[in-house]
Amino acid sequence: MEFAIVDIETTGGAPKYGGITEIAVLIHDGESIIREYQTLLNPEQAIPTYITGLTGIDNFMVRHQPTFEAIHDELWELLHDRVFVAHNVSFDYGFLREAFLKVGKELKTPKLCTVRLSRKVYPGMKSYSLGRLCESQKIEIEARHRAMGDAKATAILFDRMIKSDYQIINQSLKKNTGEAFLPPNFPHSKFKEIPTACGVYYMQDEHGKTIYVGKAINIRERFKNHFSGQLLPSLKQKLKNEVFDLKWELTGSELMALLFETLEIKRLWPKYNYASKLPKRLFGLFHYEDYSGYGRFQVAKITKFFKPIESFFSMEEANTFLKTGIETYGLCPKLCGLRKVNCEPEDLLRCEGACYFTEKPKEYNTRVSEFMEKIKDGQKEILIKLDGRNPRETAYCMFESGMLSRFAYLENDELTDDIPSQLDLVTQVPETYYILRQYIHQIDPEQIQVLEINP
C-alpha cells in the first residue's frame, strides 16, 4: 500500500471558488518517502493580500507558473491509485477534487486524516493543529504555510504514527465512521451525543466560549450541514478551525427555537453570528403636546430614553400608518410632522385649521385621542401555547406589542389559571416581532389567547 501525502496552498477557503497556488506530494511506501513532487501554480485569479502575508506567495511569483490544467495528468498519476493523506484532509482533498472535476476527472481515492490519526495515537492533547503536534513531537517545520514544508512535517508525523501502530491505518480505512466532515478538534463521540430533535445549539471554542448560536429542527443534521455542504464556505472554514465543543437546548417547536435563538444571540453576541438579516423595529411614532396645547405626532428613530406609542420596521411603514390615521381622523399633516408649512386650502378637507389656530386645541385633541385609543386597541397582549420539550410539559409565550416579553416551559400538572404570572420576563428585542408576524398564521387559533393590557 502506498500513500500520497499532500499539502496545498490556496487563494482562500472555498474549493468551488478558490484556486490552488502551490502543491506538494510525497509518496510513502509504508517504510519511507520514495518520491517527491512540488510546484507553484497559477490560480488564474488574484491572491488576497492576507493570503500572501500568511504564505509569502504573491501574484508576481505565480504569474508565469503552470495552471492546474497543465499539470493535472502528472498529478493524477501521483494520486489516483494511492491513499490520499493530509492534515485536515477534507480541505486539501476538497480543493483537488474540485480542480480535477473542472478538467473532466473525478478523484475517488481512500483518504486518511493525520488529525484524526493523531487523536488515536496521541490522545488527550488540547490541540491537534500541525504546529502544536510537531512542537510536541519535536518535528521541525522547515517552511510553515508552504506546501513542501508542511507536507514534509506531515510525512514525518505520519511515518511515526504508522510505525508505532500500523493497525490504525487498516482500522481507519475499513471503518466508515462518517467523521470526515467534522471539525478536526471535534470528537466523533460528541457528535453521536447530539440530539436529532428541535432546538438551539452553541458552538464553542477551545476556551469554552460560544462563537456561534444557531437553531434547527434537527440539531445533529444541522451541525453536520455546517461542515459538509457548500453553504457559506468562508464561515464553514472559520468554524471548522475553531469549534471544539457543542452545547444545546431543546425547544419543542421551531417557533420556540427561532425566538430563543434570537434572545441568545442578543445575550451572547457570538463573533460568527454576523449582523442579523432580520429587519429591526428602529422607528417609532411619538406623541407630545406643543406649547399651544395641540397634540402632535412625530416619526423618529427609537432610543432607549423615550418609548413610542407604536413601533415600525422602517420610516416608510411608520409614515404610511400615520397617513392612514390623518385621513381617518381628520388630523393636520403639519402637526403630524408630514409637512413643514401650513396646510394648503385644498388640504383643509382633512385639516380643519389647527395649523392656522382656527380650530381650538380641545376640539382637535378629541380626534387625536380617538387615534391614540385605536392604536392601544391594537396592542393587546397575546399568550401562545406551544409544544413542550416532552409530553409532560407545555411552552407558553407572551407577546406585548408584538414582541416576546415572557416565556416558560410549564409542567402540565402544575398549571394554574394565571399562566402569565408563571412566565419568566425576557428582554424585548424587535426581531421577535418579525418572527411572530411570519408564524402567526401557521398557529392554530385555539393556541392563541388575547389578553387585555394591564392598566
What does the alpha-carbon distance between residue 399 and residue 430 come to, in Å, rounded to a whole number? 11
pLDDT tens, 319-328?
988 998 898 8
pLDDT tens, 156-215?
999 998 888 777 777 777 554 455 677 878 887 788 899 999 999 999 999 999 999 999
Are 40 and 77 in the same domain? Answer: yes
Predicted confidence (pLDDT) at residue 35 exceeds the cutoff of 50: yes
pLDDT tens, 42-93?
999 999 888 888 888 999 999 999 999 999 999 999 998 899 999 989 889 9
Residue 156: partners with Cβ closer than 8 Å, 6 or more residues away: 134, 139
- Among 316, 348, 377, give the residue marking a domain's end: 377
| Position 355 in a domain | yes
| Position 274 in a domain | no
Position 62 scores a pLDDT of 92
Cα dihedral 193→198→200→204 (10° resolution): 20
| Position 22 in a domain | yes
| Position 179 in a domain | no
Total domains, the chain: 4
Do 72 and 99 meet the contact criterion of CB atoms below 8 Å apart?
yes
Neighbour order of strands in the sheet with 393-400: 424-425, 403-411, 393-400, 381-387, 448-451
Are 153 and 30 in the same domain? Answer: yes
| Position 276 in a domain | no
Are 155 and 238 in the same domain? Answer: no
Marked catalytic residue, from 28, 72, 145, 226: 145
| Position 181 in a domain | no
C-alpha cell at 431: 426581531
Are 398 and 368 in the same domain? Answer: no
Are 161 and 105 in the same domain? Answer: yes
Do 55 and 21 meet the contact criterion of CB atoms below 8 Å apart?
yes
- Among 222, 240, 268, give the residue marking a domain's end: 268
Are 71 and 119 in the same domain? Answer: yes
* Structural domain that includes position 408: 381-451
pLDDT tens, 98-126?
999 999 999 988 888 999 888 888 888 88
Burial tier of 164 (Cβ tally within 10 Å: 0-12, 13-18, 19+):
exposed
Give the CATH number for residue 164: 3.30.420.10
Mean pLDDT for 273-283 is: 66
Are 252 and 299 in the same domain? Answer: no
Are 292 and 410 in the same domain? Answer: no
For the question of residue 145 being annotated catalytic, the response is yes
Are 287 and 243 in the same domain? Answer: no
Predicted confidence (pLDDT) at residue 418 exceeds the cutoff of 60: yes
Are 27 and 139 in the same domain? Answer: yes
Percent of the chain with pLDDT over 70: 93
Are 317 and 441 in the same domain? Answer: no
| Position 45 in a domain | yes
| Position 136 in a domain | yes
| Cα 446 off chain centre by | 33
C-alpha cell at 403: 414582541
pTM: 0.52
Give the CATH number for residue 252: 3.40.1440.10
pLDDT tens, 209-243?
999 999 999 999 999 888 876 666 778 888 988 99
